[in-house]
A and B are shown apart, each in its own frame.
Chain A
């Protein structure tokens, strides 16, 4: 006897992990194809760029959510935190503070809240669902505490960021938000694939008990992912305020659910341990293309977006179940 017979069939090794992402990619291409074949203007490059422009903040927040879901957790606070960040920025700018300190303060709130929620989850061993639900109510409440009416932003830096176009000579362009979102995506993909923090995230999602016994810093990593999610929500909130040039107390209600849907459609398994940032990008794009298709149609109510997302979400969860990516 030289070596043991290995039971894993060769076809099950590689494609299985990548199948959800491939399914999402196929879906995206099919939907884009439908759009192009149905509407002449759909093939315009700017349509694709607009999807990114309109969903830059969603993408950034979804990246943070991917970290959390990979550990097997959930973060329901992200929509409210983004709204609170936008609200705080608008309020501070209105009160006359210069742009830079406003940015710094606004970007600190999200991660601080995330850090506190992570600590509650880790040290008191409370379900992430309920802790972040509390965070969600708190942040939403803070929005209306600051002002129950929308605050417009007139600051020069904000309006520049909002209106600046990076484009080609033919007039196609993207906004600064898109570049920020891309930067966040690249950094996150690198962290998940090439750093210990990233690998610990996957390990905890795979089997937290084993991760602990293998001596990995489970607590630190868990707190880190909620902090990262909070930071991403804060960046998303800033991008949102670039996009709307205001802080509104009721904006982004229910956005956390869109974000979770995008992450899951992008192939990340809700029980943790499996998924990629690239998949999340695709998931956000799927959501964006559905919206675009419905806008192009013109006759459909925008609620159709929700109906389609609901159907897709269900289909993708079934798919994950069927290919049994949970292992044992």
Chain B
């Protein structure tokens, strides 16, 4: 691997490191395309077979001033009326009516829902969607996304230059980061006044049946593996390490220590106190606290380390409103807008200059480690290394089997 000098900004450096480890390259895909003629013939009639030769539909953005944005819950600034102020502002500026669709609860389930339309090059009911690195990588490699026109996203200049060359999308032709974040520990301060410091604190018998974990395998397994001393970002681990973590996970599920394995809906369990402690995504805790109206829930990156990930804007292949989507992306790459969103969702913004913009919005947030993490915070988190296809299938099956009690 060609070692390049890492960028100065610690957060960017971390993200770049993570992106470099992406193993799915164009070469892999081309190898797949070069398979036997029979396989190609078969693939032709099988949805999503081989590298599809899609042509994106004609862009009707000029006349069709609408846009659907599929995203995760608690991922955009929201006021008391349930409106999204930055989005309202965008609609006013652009004249584009945006449907913000909280449709993503989990990368896998979202993918399963839309993959058949994607494979046929059809509209999936979303003009842009934010998905996590590994899923973004899969979609780009399958040719399910449209190429971004950088000329139409002038604010792309605000994306830290070093983030333009992630391995799964060199030059960011198909994806742009929306937010980044950590997976760590959250707890109910009323019930657990002393807080949680490490993953094994979740296994406290006092919390039996009141613990939730994420259905995002890389986050839940990542945290457990980190505690077991595995550097999840390195290629140095394999089946043995993963299985060891699965064993621990299984033990906690079987014993009833872990109550729930969920996507974004874990927030409901924390709120109704079915779970008192959970593995969660960093920014959500702020949003949940805002919803309950008090600083009821605490968040910490485990001492043994948390995970770091990014969710990325993608424009699905079937969308006829690419230009509208690009306008939206451009708008959110404005540092002030990015800072406004970050101040609400408490995730890490990829927009350079947002920290400065934040100074004028809320100076204390400019120092918030969940939004603008410093060197020492970033030293505690790791990106989950890219899995080979075989690993992906195998590990996913292992992880799911635990959840199903099988």
A and B found bound together: no
Q: Contact residues of B with A, CB < 8 Å?
A: none
